[in-house]
Structure 1
Amino acid sequence: MSNTVSKQQLGSLTTLMNKIVDYAGIFPPGNLPLKQAITNYRNYLEGNDVWMLRSFVLPIAKLSELEKYMDLFSTDKKLKLSLVVSKSDSAEDFDGVCQVDTNKAKKFLDEYVDKVSVESLEIPLPQVNITKNMIKNVSHLAERFNTQAFCEMSKPLSDDWIEQMKGAMERINDFNRKNPKSKIGYKLRTGGIKAHLFPSTEQVAYTLTESVERGIPIKFTAGLHHPVRMYRDEVDTKMHGFLNVFMGYIFQASYKWNVEEVKEILKDEDERNFQFSNRELKWKNFKVSINEIKMIRTSLLNSFGSCSFDDPREDLRDLNMMK
């Protein structure tokens, strides 16, 4: 089957990629000024590829800087935000940071209630053992903003990272089981501006597997600029592909793959193995239906943050996967 997209082939691709990109233009390596990034986002809302766009990623600390640009938005063209909570150094600091950021955000959102919505919260946890009280604070934040919250474990990618990640997932899962109306998710950083910031395929595979097995929603940030895994000179390492990661998650959820099987799709650098049709998507001889994709994307598999909205689209077109 050819990878070239026809009208019939758009089905599984659009289902997989629907609202998949959180535009993070002000973050590295893009580092755009806020004026340029927010103008880009507003222009994307008018483009043909708006179906791929989810939200604008912004630290809560920068919310007040948005005021001068709010005339760009309206009730019909809302600014959809994924808000990033400020970092903290300890469990005690975390409590205070959450409260300060909540007050800042509520003030801004109340003023522009007709022009702004919050799609998600991204919450970096301090580099300490995650406590029940920290997860409870995350839940309170999500309730205040009536949105999904995603915890990011900020520990370095050391030898014990997988065990630390499992511990964080266990804490989240315990809370979610006892509070089924307040689903807390997990955020995985899949790269950065230097090679040592990229998790291994094993670390990513374990994270996907833990998320699926525990039913914990997940989103990603950094490093997923390109569809298929490849070596990139600018970071002197191989970057994870967003098709590898998202399709790896979907196949794991559908086929109950083990970690080694998930690693195989994460390592795949041959774009010909990733195929789309009107009814299903395929990786090699494995297939998943549109209905399964939609169910997994809706319930568990959220989005990925990217400082570029152009790179993912242009690469898909270069591979003849999208018109």
Structure 2
Amino acid sequence: MNPLFTALFDDAALFPPASMGLPEALAAHRARRDSALAPLLGPFVCPVSRLGEVTGVRVAVVLPTADTPVPHHPSIVAVEAPEAVPGPVTTYSELPCAEIDAIRLAALRAAGLRLKLRTGGVRAEMFPSEDVLARALWNAVRGGIAFKLTAGLHDPIRHRDPVTGFEHHGFLNVLLATARALQGYDIQRTLADQDGERVAAGVAGIDEVLAKAVRHHFISFGTCSVTEPVDGLLRYRLLPEDPR
């Protein structure tokens, strides 16, 4: 499998818009872990309030505030919180895209924290524009910060949702933009590009060395649907075979 896609999809089925029940979401996650989809999967994303109900899977736990205590749980592999503080496991600090600058990123790097960026939600204003996201990603890459994204990235390519009218970023656009930021190129046009074949061709052209550098920064993104992004990779012929 292309290393660009290994463990790229954090399973956030408990969160909107899917909002699955925990038993159903956990069963589906376990089934994927036992299937050919396993190499694509990151951890199961779970709010701290439901952590006690989760067993037998790797968990990224989401805290409502930075000072919410993290209970002891053997399966926790990552913690996500607004303005997070360093902890004993990999920790992501969620910051607004518009507030990402060199000073804040230097503080994260000094604390050993990773960055979490929100790229969508249930209201139009929760979707950062191409220029705002481009600045955030550029600063993160050039500042040596690892990051994950969350919300609004089910589709591989930038598009306008025909039902809501929201402008969604594409995860292939973000992968390609990260690669181009590493190469020193402007990335706003890459994030705005809605030509799926062109974006997919750019991603397919990323060599093994650059792919490793891309994923050193762009760790994963949370998605309430694993099926949709996999469908997208298959649509653009970026997986050697259907893993479902």
Tell me whether the two structures share a fold, i.e. TM-score over 0.5: yes
> Which residue of 2 is the match for residue 56 of structure 1?
44
Q: Does the 8 A contact of 1:19 with 1:52 survive in 2?
A: yes
CA distance in 1, matches of 2:178, 2:122: 24
Correspondence list, 1:191-270, <5 A? 191-253=120-182, 255-257=183-185, 261-270=186-195
The DSSP-based 3-state class of the residue aligned with 2:187 is helix
CA contact (8 A) 1:23 1:305 kept: yes
Could you tell me whether the CA contact under 8 Å between 2:12 and 2:224 is conserved in 1? yes
AA aligned to 1:24 is A
Q: Distance in 1 between matches of 2:106 and 2:158?
A: 30
Q: Is 2:35 the counterpart of 1:47? A: yes
Give the secondary structure class of the aligned counterpart of 2:154: coil
* Rounded Cα–Cα distance in structure 1 between residues aligned with 2:107 and 2:150: 24
CA contact (8 A) 1:232 1:239 kept: yes
Counterpart residue type for residue 228 of structure 2: D
**C-alpha displacement of 1:276:** 5.5
- Secondary structure of 1:274's aligned partner: helix
The structure-2 alpha-carbon separation of the partners of 1:36 and 1:319, relative to structure 1 and needing over 3 Å to count, comes to same
State the match for 1:290 in structure 2. Answer: 208
Match of 1:120 among 67, 72, 78: 78
Counterpart selection for 1:174 from 107, 112, 121: 107
Give the distance between the partners of 1:317 and 1:176, measured in 2 at CA. Answer: 36
Shift of 1:171: 3.1
Q: 1:165 aligns with which of 100, 106, 110?
A: 100
Residue 176 of structure 1: how far off its partner (Å): 2.6
Contact 1:226 1:315 in 2 (8 A): yes
Aligned to 1:119, what secondary structure does the other structure show?
Answer: strand
**TM-score, normalising length from structure 1?**
0.69
Cα distance in 2, alignment partners of residues 272 and 221 from structure 1: 24
Tell me the equivalent position of 1:306: 223
Counterpart of 1:31 in 2: which secondary structure? coil
2:175, 2:214 within 8 Å by CA — same for their partners in 1?
no
- In 2 relative to 1, CA 300–320 (structure 1 residues): closer, same or farther, beyond 3 Å? closer
For the aligned residue pairs, the C-alpha RMSD in angstroms reads 2.0
1:27-67 Cα deviation digits (max 9, x unpaired):
0000100011001100101121211101100011211233x
Whether the aligned pair in 1 keeps the contact of 2:158 and 2:193 (CA below 8 Å) is: yes
Q: Which blocks of at least 5 consecutive residues in structure 2 are unaligned?
A: none
SS in 1 for 2:116: strand
The aligned counterpart of 1:32 is 20
Letter in 2 for 1:84: V
Q: How far, CA to CA, are the matches of 1:80 and 1:50 in structure 2?
A: 12
Q: Quick one: which amino acid aligns to residue 224 of structure 1?
A: L
Q: Whole-Å Cα distance in 2 between the matches of residues 175 and 205 of structure 1?
A: 19
Contact 2:193–2:199 (CA<8 Å) still a contact in 1? no
State the partner residue of 2:235. Answer: 318
Code of the residue aligned with 2:204 in structure 1: it is L
CA deviation profile, 1:281-317 (whole Å, cap 9, x unmatched): 33xxxxx3211211331x3221000000101011222
Q: Secondary structure at the match of 1:256?
A: coil
Larger Rg: 1
